[in-house]
Structure 1
């Protein structure tokens, strides 16, 4: 705990304590001169925080916004500023805060609209992040509880129980957050399967470490991977372009980030679902399960695990009792 506690606080503070935009892509409809003006206004501090992408017409720019290639579209001719809060609420707020300065520089009053607004009960876009966070933590915590309270399971029973538990818990989470409480409006089946895959991946990673280095230390690498690094870098609480470079990079390839992106696509961009998050999440599921199965078979075989060694003091007491 002396190591994990400071790591946890430091990681979340470094990742999300002071979000700073870096090369955040926003679109502008118009000529290069307007793009240069907008770049100057948005980067008033001179830190090149925004990357302004010119588009020839509004339809092309809107298509890029819908595909989450950019976070906003500025159309001076139409006096329009179009945001996409679902792509990143933190970025949307920064761009919206810059609207008065943009209007003055462009000589018009920009009317702000949100092409992909967040749910009424989730104005900061955190519910999907909390779902991903809960799935990862419950995944490996459930695996810990299984190994502690159901010792002597075969390899098939361990994998089957972890899979079944992941499916049941993920379904309950999906139904409660969606249809029951109405915090988000999403299709139940795909969200359920994504959360179940996340939970199963976390349980397999913990199970591998438990076999590889023992139950006493297995939680440490699992906690560091999923909680200390993956969760703050997921892009759920702070958009990826506002994270430090290390977290922005790691979030793309860790399961929590893949889960957040998959849930966001399913919920807000059903017609623009990206393949990458599913490939990343699928890789963690397959590699985690394969690593656990291989390690388990190599060390203990496929049968029930051996009973834990009896402590020396207990053995002495048993010997005394038989004398």
Structure 2
């Protein structure tokens, strides 16, 4: 039997099985853990009404769901509504009129809106001594009628990340030169931003607001991802792609909070997710599409920081490559023997 057709040793088979098992276990943990362990904790909401009534509702919430909410009290439903539109809170319970009224913003988080509606029902039942009165619910900032569950916005998070990854891989293999790759990444971010936003907004009906602002949000998200990966590759080679892929796909995407809310993710993971491009990009797109840009500052700073970091890494990698090329040329010149004079 030739060496080329000789079967692999059983030890290599076992090692392959072990490696695949570890990989699939990591993938399952990364994508399932945030959802399985999600809960309501420190979610910003408002309670509107007289001081005595808001204190009573606050005490009831703390007793029913300890540490679930970060509560801001205001005097009127109008003030609570403004906080929702400014993205200061996810929703509110308005007791200024006597019976509890729930103010939600499904465009910010359908999961939080559903939780608030359940709490409003429980409070109304307690006031009515066990009966089941109808609870008034007002959706202050609703999702579009063509996509009332926000499926397109949640499902679009992964393609945005994959688009940045794919751009980095293709540009690295297709283009030579740091400036060309950076220009290609920026050009794709702009073109991809217009194309993907057009699909989400005009075809799927998943977005409202200004098309140009939404396209800018998507472009900034793609650019931050692709340029970061290009920079890591320029310094570390293909292992940089692996590092960037893990950071964006296995950490950033599951912790983005796109399907629920960052505050509903377990422990510190929601905060970490908002410091990475997938989470910041999702929150920025919600701000531009549904809240007239309110609450976008943090996301813009995060994405701009990653984009700038990617450009710096690309420049450093290009500088190192040029220095290596100069040293190689100098070494080749020194190794070339001097011509021997011809005999007379």
| Fold match by TM threshold 0.5 | yes
Q: Secondary structure at the match of 1:87?
A: coil
Higher relative contact order (CA 8 A, sep 6+): 1
The aligned residue for residue 185 of structure 2 is 162
The aligned residue for residue 284 of structure 2 is 262
> How far 1:46 sits from its partner (Å)?
5.0
> For the residues of structure 2 that align with 1:58 and 1:120, how far apart are their CA atoms?
25
Q: Deviations over 1:36-63 (max 9, x none)?
A: 4323544555533123322122222221
Map residues 199-214 of structure 1 onto 2, 5 A cutoff: 199-214=222-237
Greater Rg, structure 1 or structure 2? 2
Indicate conservation of the 8 Å contact 1:8/1:228, yes or no: yes
> How far 1:171 sits from its partner (Å)?
1.6
> For the residues of structure 2 that align with 1:271 and 1:147, how far apart are their CA atoms?
34
Paired residue for 1:26, among 16, 23, 45? 45
**How many residue pairs end up in the alignment?**
301
Structure 2: state its 5+ residue gaps. 1-18, 329-344
RMSD: 2.5
The aligned residue for residue 124 of structure 2 is 103
The aligned residue for residue 9 of structure 2 is none
Give the TM-score of the pair, scaled to structure 1: 0.84
Give the TM-score of the pair, scaled to structure 2: 0.79
> For the residues of structure 2 that align with 1:194 and 1:57, how far apart are their CA atoms?
33
> For the residues of structure 2 that align with 1:88 and 1:180, how far apart are their CA atoms?
22
Paired residue for 2:268, among 246, 252, 262? 246
Indicate conservation of the 8 Å contact 1:38/1:52, yes or no: no
Paired residue for 1:133, among 158, 178, 202? 158
Indicate conservation of the 8 Å contact 1:91/1:239, yes or no: yes
The aligned residue for residue 81 of structure 1 is 102
> For the residues of structure 2 that align with 1:103 and 1:54, how far apart are their CA atoms?
19
Q: 1:29 to 1:8 in 2, by over 3 A?
A: same
The aligned residue for residue 205 of structure 2 is 182
> For the residues of structure 1 that align with 2:201 and 2:323, how far apart are their CA atoms?
42
2:81 pairs with 1:62: yes
